[in-house]
Amino acid sequence: MNPNGSEKPGDFFMTMHERFMRLALRLAKRAEGMTSPNPLVGCVIVLNGRVVGKGYHKRAGTPHAEVHALRSAGAQARGATLYVTLEPCDHYGRTPPCTDAIVNAGIKKVFIGMKDPNPINSGRGMRKLKRRGITVTAGISEAECRAINKPYGKWITTGVPYVTLKLAESLDGKIATRTGDSKWISGEGSRAYVQKLRQRVDAVMVGVNTVMADDPLLIPHGAFKKNPVRVVVDAGLSIPLSSRLAATTGRAPLWIAASNKAAGAKKNGLMKKGAEVIGVDASKGKIDMRGLLRILGKRMITHVLVEGGAALAGDMLDHRCIDEAVFFIAPKIIGGKDAVTAVSGNGVRLVSQAVTLKNISIQRIKDDVMIRGDVCLPV
């Protein structure tokens, strides 16, 4: 045992503890898309090597994972070990501190996946538990625990949402033909995967050119408890009042990010349709994307899925606004110098300045290939 009262797990203990933490991670993932602006959290309670309680955080404002697990364990929580993917909270929000519930239940040991990045709680929960005589060990399956809460981690520390760029392109990097036709470049499997992505985010963002060309709906298919906010970047309010987006504000919120100077009958017409027009600084007909993201963060948007088109993708990459990229590459060659390339914008002058990806995963989805990775910006 370390001098600070924490166990230092050896290889055997790490293997055992990781097994229980992975169970907690699987529980946490059950609520993907439902907990924002709160993190995904799973919890498992173990007594004599046997799971006696488990739970996960289901929605913001409802009991946390630890409370569900303690209720599940009941009297068997006394003297047991608790595994939780994120440091227990020690402050009053919409729910009481989980540290008090853990102490009162008689838990003897707590294993934590990752320290809470929230400045209000970071380290505080662990210190409280240690003061109450509970053995605390942090860092079990830490990389996996951080991975499921990347959006929360960025938003809670910067106030800006995590941004995922999704693009579907041909083998030669096109997202539409020279006539503007784009249906469908990717296959059914890839499009089904995108539906899952939409369910996991707070907002789906497109540029007005995409709205004009495709008239998208941007609502996840099938029954889902929460639809993402739909954000259209449209400095001059060019979006048609007859668009499917404007006609479905009752199903999912529609926010139009327009220049602060945009006004008049079009703005009033959109508002009558139920859309909200958000004024953002703009220059030369382009929205200040960093400013827009700060506004979205203040509105409790923690994760944005950018679905294009090429101009929006290029602008956001030029201004270093993307955290993660997901590209679906179809085995099709479109060709043509006038076909629409996947990313426009200014681009870079030298290959050494190119945006690269790290922590890459590559997955075959029927005939398509999905490449996903964290955006790594050049120094």
Residue 69 has pLDDT above 70, yes or no: yes
Res 93: pLDDT: 72
The pair of three-digit structure tokens given for residue 228, joined into one six-digit string: 């993402």
> Which positions are annotated as active-site residues?
66
pLDDT tens-digit readout, 198-227: 999 999 999 999 999 899 999 988 756 689
DSSP symbols for 162-207: EEEEEEEE-TTSEEE-TT---TTSS-HHHHHHHHHHHHHSSEEEEE
DSSP 3-state percent helix, strand, coil across the chain (nearest 5): 30, 25, 45
pLDDT of amino acid 91? 79
pLDDT for 378 equals 67
Give the predicted TM-score (pTM) of the model: 0.91
Q: Which amino acid is at 130?
A: K
What is the reported pLDDT for 183? 85
pLDDT in tens, 79-100: 999 999 999 999 777 778 999 9
10: pLDDT strictly greater than 90: no
Residue 7 has pLDDT above 90, yes or no: no
pLDDT value for 224:
64
Q: Read off the pLDDT of residues 254-297 as tens digits, 9 standing for 90 and up.
A: 999 999 887 788 899 999 999 999 999 999 889 999 999 999 99
How, if at all, do strands 340-341 and 203-207 pair?
unpaired
Alpha-carbon span 77 to 80, nearest angstrom: 5
State what percent of residues in the chain have pLDDT above 70: 95
